[in-house]
């Protein structure tokens, strides 16, 4: 397939605003990969991101903004008023784990549904869920109609690595020599938000050690909400139970880059090495 027929779509969960939940470097890392591969990158986001949705008080969910070949599109924002106030809960139920639909799934769907260019021909959405990651993901179909597909809009959804194991994934990345995201180098076994609600005690302990301001921001918002993210422990209590990853204190360049919204490292690595987080603590949805 020619490069001009492929697009990379990234959903900015912090809504193009100050970093709240995500890794500050992730948008720039994604752009560096797109530039290296020579493919177009389109960014989409919920206005105000995670922080605005969390603070929503008798107001509609914010509109979705998305880059298009001709500018910025907008959808939604006129729904019924509602109140959020509580962090997403660590549950497979997307009604309470609201970050996934509100900041990712619904964002891509809106971008597809509100661009006439996706009515022309067929569109293939490719995502990277793997069966090995969780029982819920094991039940996903490797190929199926996408949620945006209609009689007028032909959109399919393909999960090409659904039956891959983690070793196969790292082998492909190693052959490409693309630098792993700093999260993996610092010890994280899964790339999600830096302050992912599914974070393990070791991950919260590591976040508190090397990014204390980010940790304290989450801890303060959790305390203000009156309910912990995890069912019985606050992030402070989780961090107290964990042990920070040793790798997080050994890679100063990656630690600095992880906290920098500008990408400053080479996207290719001459001497590629498996990062410390590989085959480690995934701490993802059940």
pLDDT digits (tens, 9 = 90+) for 230-285: 988 999 999 999 999 999 999 999 999 999 999 999 999 999 999 999 999 888 88
- On whether the CB atoms of residues 182 and 254 are closer than 8 A, the answer is yes
If asked whether residues 146 and 217 sit together in one domain, one would say: no
State pLDDT tens for residues 202-224: 999 999 999 999 999 999 999 99
Give percent above pLDDT 90 in the chain. 92
If asked whether residues 51 and 188 sit together in one domain, one would say: no
**Residue 91 pLDDT:** 87
If asked whether residues 94 and 132 sit together in one domain, one would say: yes
Which residue range is the domain that position 76 belongs to? 3-158
**Residue 2 pLDDT:** 81
- Residue 215 falls inside a structural domain: yes
If asked whether residues 128 and 37 sit together in one domain, one would say: yes
- Residue 165 falls inside a structural domain: no
**Residue 105 pLDDT:** 97
Span 102-116, mean pLDDT? 98
Confidence class of residue 286 from pLDDT cuts 50, 70 and 90? confident
**Residue 104 pLDDT:** 97
Q: What is the CA radius of gyration of the chain?
A: 19
Distance (Å, rounded) from C-alpha 215 to C-alpha 207? 6
- Residue 279 falls inside a structural domain: no
If asked whether residues 251 and 111 sit together in one domain, one would say: no
State pLDDT tens for residues 22-33: 999 999 999 999
State both tokens at 239: 């961090």
Distance (Å, rounded) from C-alpha 198 to C-alpha 193? 9
Q: Mean pLDDT over all residues of the chain? A: 96
pTM for the predicted model, two decimal places: 0.95
**Residue 44 pLDDT:** 98
Phi-psi category of residue 239: left, alpha or beta, with phi > 0 → left and psi -120 to 50 → alpha: alpha
If asked whether residues 203 and 154 sit together in one domain, one would say: no
- Residue 167 falls inside a structural domain: no
- On whether the CB atoms of residues 208 and 240 are closer than 8 A, the answer is no
- Residue 93 falls inside a structural domain: yes
């Amino acid at each position: 397939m020619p490069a001009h027929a492929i697009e990379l779509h990234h959903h900015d969960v912090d809504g193009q605003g100050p970093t709240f939940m995500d890794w500050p470097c992730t948008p720039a890392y994604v752009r560096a990969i797109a530039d290296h591969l020579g493919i177009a990158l389109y960014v989409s986001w919920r206005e105000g991101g995670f922080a605005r949705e969390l603070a929503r008080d008798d107001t509609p969910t914010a509109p979705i903004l998305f880059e298009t070949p001709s500018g910025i599109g907008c959808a939604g924002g006129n729904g019924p008023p509602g109140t959020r106030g509580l962090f997403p809960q660590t549950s497979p139920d997307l009604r309470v784990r609201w970050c996934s639909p509100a900041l990712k799934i619904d964002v891509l769907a809106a971008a597809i549904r509100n661009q006439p260019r996706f009515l022309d021909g067929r569109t293939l959405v490719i995502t990277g869920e793997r069966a090995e990651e969780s029982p819920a993901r094991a039940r996903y179909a490797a190929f199926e109609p996408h949620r945006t597909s209609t009689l007028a809009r032909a959109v399919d959804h393909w999960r090409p690595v659904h039956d891959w194991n983690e070793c196969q994934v790292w082998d492909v990345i190693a052959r490409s020599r693309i630098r792993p995201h700093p999260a993996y180098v610092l010890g994280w076994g899964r790339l999600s938000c830096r302050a992912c609600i599914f974070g393990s005690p070791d991950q919260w302990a590591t976040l508190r050690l090397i990014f204390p301001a980010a940790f304290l921001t989450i801890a303060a918002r959790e305390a203000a909400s009156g309910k912990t993210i995890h069912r019985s422990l606050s992030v402070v209590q989780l961090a107290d139970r964990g042990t920070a990853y040793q790798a997080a204190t050994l890679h100063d360049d990656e630690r600095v880059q992880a906290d920098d919204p500008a990408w400053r490292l080479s996207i290719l690595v001459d001497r590629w090495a498996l990062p410390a987080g590989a085959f480690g603590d995934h701490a993802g949805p059940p």
